[in-house]
Amino acid sequence: MSTESSPWEEHFGSRENQSQAAQLGMWIFLGSEVLLFTNLFVGYAVYRYYYPEVFVEASKHLKADWAMVQTLLLVTSSLFVVLAVHAIRQGRQLQTVLVLVLAIGMGLGFLGIKGWEYWEHWKEGALPGEYYRLAEVPERGGSLFFTLYFLLTGLHAIHMLVALGLLGWLVWGALTGKYTAEYHIPVEVGGLYWHLVDIFWLFIFPLLYLVE
Partner 1 sequence: MNLAAGSNQPAITYLNHETTVRSWLLTRDHKRIGVMFLVGVIFALLLGGIFAMALRIELLTPGPTVMAPMTYNRMFTLHGVTMVWLFMIPAIPSAFGNFVLPIMLGAKDVAFPRLNLASFYIYLAGSLLTVFGMLWSGADTGWTFYTPYSTVSPTTVTPILMGVFIIGFSTIITGLNFITTVHTLRAPGMHWTRIPLFVWTIYGTSVIQVVATPVLGMVLLLVAAERVLGMGIFDPSRGGDPVLFQHMFWFYSHPAVYIMVLPAMGVITEVVCAYSRKNIFGYKMVAASTFGIAFVGFFTWGHHMFVSGQSTFGSGVFGVLSMLVAIFTAIKIFNWVATLYGGSIDLKVPLLYVLGFIFLLMFGGMTGVAVATTSLDVHWHDTYFVVAHFHYIMVGAVLMAFLAALHYWWPKMFGRLYPERWSFLAAMTIIFGFIVTFLPQFLLGNMGMPRRYYEYPREMQWLHVLSTAGASLLAFGFGLIAIYLLWSLRYGAEAPVNAWGSRGYEWYSGSPPVPHNFTEAPRFEREVHDYTVAEVPRVY
Q: Point out which residues bind partner 1 (CB under 8 A).
A: 10-13, 17, 20-21, 24-25, 28-29, 31-33, 35-40, 42-43, 46-47, 50-51, 128-131, 139-141, 143-144, 147-148, 151
Whichever of 9 and 90 has its CB closer to partner 1, that residue is 9
CB of 43 to partner 1, least distance (A): 6
* Residue 91 dihedral angles phi and psi, to the nearest 5°: 80, 15
CB of 105 to partner 1, least distance (A): 30
CB of 135 to partner 1, least distance (A): 17
Whichever of 167 and 189 has its CB closer to partner 1, that residue is 189
* Residue 92 dihedral angles phi and psi, to the nearest 5°: -90, 90
Structural contact between residues 134 and 125, judged by C-beta atoms closer than 8 angstroms: yes
> Which has the closest alpha carbon to 70: 204, 162, 163?
204
Whichever of 52 and 105 has its CB closer to partner 1, that residue is 52
CB of 145 to partner 1, least distance (A): 10
CB of 162 to partner 1, least distance (A): 13
Task: Tell me how far apart the alpha carbons of residues 85 and 89 are, in angstroms, rounded to a whole number.
Answer: 6
Task: Tell me how far apart the alpha carbons of residues 135 and 170 are, in angstroms, rounded to a whole number.
Answer: 46
Whichever of 130 and 212 has its CB closer to partner 1, that residue is 130
Task: Tell me how far apart the alpha carbons of residues 62 and 56 are, in angstroms, rounded to a whole number.
Answer: 11
Task: Tell me how far apart the alpha carbons of residues 36 and 12 are, in angstroms, rounded to a whole number.
Answer: 30
Whichever of 47 and 183 has its CB closer to partner 1, that residue is 47
> Which has the closest alpha carbon to 153: 106, 201, 192, 110?
201
